[in-house]
Amino acid sequence: MDALIEQLKGEIIKQLNLEDLKPADIDSDAALFGGGLGLDSIDALELIVLLEKNYGIKVSNPADGKKIFQSVRTMAEYISANKK
């Protein structure tokens, strides 16, 4: 899980163009949205693209994103449970 979390941080930075951040700047358990990263609804959609592109997981209702993207850890857990 920890390896996946670290990998995800790198992927999130790349997908969301967070150029001024390093993986270490993102806390695995901190809120992805509404926190210090300044992410918005478009970023949530962009993370849905990331799930499909990198892990083959399709999320068709954007509202599901709220739960999945609580933190990097919840995102990693969702990926391990649903990965094809």
Partner 1 sequence: MEQKNYITSLCSIKNGIVSLDGVSGFSDKSIDGVDFIKAAYKEYQLSYPKFYKMDNLCKLAFVASELLLKNNPLTKKYASQDIAIVIANSASSLEIDTEHQRTISDKNNYFPSPSVFVYTLPNILIGEIAIRNSIKGENSFFIFDKFDAEFMSSYINSILDSSKAKCCITGWIELYENKYEAFLYTVEQQEGTLKTEHTAQELKKLYNH
Partner 2 sequence: MSSKVYITGMGMISAIGNNVAESFHSLETMQSGIGELKYVRSRHKPLVPVGEVKKSTEELMEMAGLNPDNLTTRTSLLGLIAAQEAVKSAGIKDIKEYRTGIISATSVGGMDMTENHWLDYLNEEKSGPWLKYIETHECGDSTEFIADNLGIKDFLSTISTACSSAANAIMFGARLIKHGKLDRVIVGGTDAMSRFTINGFMTLMILDSENCKPFDSQRRGLNLGEGAGYIVLESEKAAKGKVIHAELSGYGNSNDAYHQTASSPDGAGAFMAMEKAFKISGLKPSDIDYINAHGTGTEINDLSEGTAIDRIFEKNVPSISSTKAYTGHTLAACAGIEAIFSILAIKHNIVFPNLNYKHPMTALSFKPTTTLERGKKIDHVLSNSFGFGGNTSALIFSRHH
Near partner 2 by CB under 8 A: residue from 3, 42, 81, 84: 42
Mapping DSSP onto H, E and C, the string for 5-57 reads HHHHHHHHHHHCCCCCCCHHHCCCCCCCECCCCCECHHHHHHHHHHHHHHHCC
How many residues sit close enough to partner 1 to count as binding (CB under 8 A)? 14
CB-based burial, 45-72: b 16+ in 10 Å, e otherwise: eebbebbeeebebebeeeeebeebbbbb
31/49 with CB nearer partner 2: 49
Out of 10, 35, 38, 56, point to the residue binding partner 1 (CB under 8 A). Answer: 38
For partner 2, the closer of residues 3 and 60 by Cβ is 60
Q: Which residues bind partner 2 (CB under 8 A)?
A: 40-42, 45, 48-49, 62
Q: Which residues bind partner 1 (CB under 8 A)?
A: 16-20, 37-38, 42-43, 45-46, 49, 52-53
